Structure 1
Amino acid sequence: MDRPTAAAEAHYAHCEALIRERDRDLWLACLFAPQPARRHLHAIYAYALETSDVRAKVSQPLLGEMRLRWWTDALTGEASEGTRAHPVADALLDTIARFDLPRDELVALADAHVADLYDDQTPDMATLADYCRMTSAAPMRWAARIFGAGPSPAFDAAGLALGLTRVLRMPAGAFVPAELLARHGADVHVNSPALRAALAELRDSALSHYEAARDAAAALEAGREALLPAATVPVYLARMGARDYDPLRGLGDPSPLRRQWRLWRAARGVGL
């Protein structure tokens, strides 16, 4: 594998710093990967973070759509000087070229985050699952390709578990499917037994996907490190049983030591 130029090294370092600042669990998970692969993991996860953070950085949905469109243009067009000057974009484009990552999936991730900009309720579980596949499972598949792993249901299942857990970590809101709320007679603005029952069903779905991923991971010959971002899923979901759990505030963070121990244990096993 050719060594990146000094400018590219700086851009990869920027990606690592971004992940370390915004998602320490993810940064720790990357540490268990072989050193030559880490910079490329940093690039794809920095891209995932940059696109997921768009909503928090804009005051109007249109501005958010423009930011996301910049990413899709960067991925589908000729790499201009302006694109290469963006450290995450430059590192990502280098990683795409080195590992022949599927640009259509990278574009789909940016497109999926357009839904974040609006307060429209997710209609059903199928729509939410598609969103999780594009935003959480896809980066795991790209990471697996960097490790030389072939296709496996483990990556999709782990991504679904991680995506659903991310929804549960947020205050109950637009991402909880309307179909699920209607079935339980719940309102996302009212802390009630009905809302807790609806979210418990979402939790059970996340755990089911997690267990399916663990079962499939046992057969992997390569790429188990790609599953590590989902290793802390059970630790977060256990927070729903805490006495102070409030669905209107989302899941609190477990202790850093507990999360780190879970990652260490998963890294010594099947990745989950």
Structure 2
Amino acid sequence: MSILTNKCNLFKILAQDVYLLNNIRFKSQTSSEYCLNLVRTNDYENFVCTLFLKNPHRSSALAIRSFNIEVSKISERVSQVDIGRMRLKFWEETIDKCFQKDPLNVPQHPVALEIYKASLREKLTKRHFKTLIISRSELLNKNSFNTMSELETYAEKTVSTVYYLILESCGIKNIHADHAASHIGKAQGITQLLRTIPLAKKINFIAIPQDILVNHKVSHEDVLRNKISDNMVESCLDLASRANEHLVKARDLMSNVPSQAKTVFLPTTAVDNYLNRLSNVQYNVFHPSLLHRSWFWLPKLWLTNYKNKY
């Protein structure tokens, strides 16, 4: 049996698994409820911020974030790169079907159904969905970034792209909003990676770029063992400082950003909250207080939205 035949069979099995899961697990809830619960369970801070959007924009945003969760979780769920790529291939073909505007071709997966509905409501860019898939595929066989620039590119592709799609789903076409989304995505992406540093051994990924580790003489073993030191603190400070720089640049654009886009950008409050908490513990990413969800940012979130800021 050829390699191509093996891969085709594997893809069929994976697709069958998805449909089987749909029939068993998703039967008791609507596709929109599934997406809402998926984001609430796996991406709570973004979930809370998304609730400030009004329907149908909220439903579209939840669909987009659900799709992002589905593709991002693949690397955690598989131990073999080929299987991961086949699952990503499933989503790539699913996106193609969602944009063909034929409901009969759309897989009966709740996320796919919600993406299809969102694509009917607003003109979404298919290329952005493909970017989310490709960027995850490129990371399947890597366990670190070589440079800070490479990390920022990854954050742009995986987080900023989500914001581009949500802006489109809200009917917002504004160059200043796109520019702000780019910086916010990088700030949030870097912050998310900072938060994974204590999990390096568990997820087999070192979030601190190699150039920073070399510059501060920190070894991979130090990161995997969660060994705190002055050099480790300096490494984390470099990451946090870059995230904050992007946050400041995004907020400098605020006066030119449309009002509705500012609601889309509310997750900046959660990013700001974590960076402040990290600063309060002298950039020790392993500090116990950082391992628990903070609720202190919620009043600030409400106030930020009330003032129509981000």
TM above 0.5, yes or no, is yes
- Tell me, which stretches of 5 or more residues in structure 1 are unaligned? 1-6
The match for 2:216 is: 184
- 1:178–1:99 CA distance, 2 compared to 1 (3 A): same
SS of residue in 1 equivalent to 2:276: helix
Q: How does 1:140-151 map to 2 (within 5 A)?
A: 140-149=163-172, 150-151=174-175
- 1:211–1:185 CA distance, 2 compared to 1 (3 A): same
The match for 1:252 is: 291
Amino acid at match of 2:261: G
Q: How does 1:4-83 map to 2 (within 5 A)?
A: 10-77=30-97, 83=106
CA offset at residue 118 of structure 1?
2.9
For residue 271 of structure 2, the aligned residue among 192, 212, 233 is 233
Asked if the contact 2:281/2:287 (under 8 Å) is kept, the reply is no
* Partner Cα distance (1:60, 1:270) in 2: 45
SS of residue in 1 equivalent to 2:56: helix
- 1:82–1:255 CA distance, 2 compared to 1 (3 A): same
Q: How does 1:85-124 map to 2 (within 5 A)?
A: 85-124=108-147
Amino acid at match of 2:245: S
Taking structure 2 as the reference length, the TM-score comes to 0.77
The match for 1:268 is: 306
CA offset at residue 104 of structure 1?
1.1
- 1:248–1:59 CA distance, 2 compared to 1 (3 A): farther
Taking structure 1 as the reference length, the TM-score comes to 0.88
- 1:268–1:188 CA distance, 2 compared to 1 (3 A): farther
The 10-residue stretch of structure 1 (235-244 or 22-31) with the greater mean CA deviation from structure 2: 235-244
Asked if the contact 2:240/2:275 (under 8 Å) is kept, the reply is yes
- 1:51–1:102 CA distance, 2 compared to 1 (3 A): same
- Tell me, which stretches of 5 or more residues in structure 2 are unaligned? 1-26
The match for 1:157 is: 183
SS of residue in 1 equivalent to 2:93: helix
For residue 170 of structure 1, the aligned residue among 184, 196, 200 is 196
Cα RMSD between the aligned structures? Answer: 2.4
For residue 218 of structure 1, the aligned residue among 240, 243, 255 is 255
* Partner Cα distance (2:281, 2:181) in 1: 33
**Which has the higher Rg, Structure 1 or Structure 2?**
2
- 1:69–1:248 CA distance, 2 compared to 1 (3 A): farther
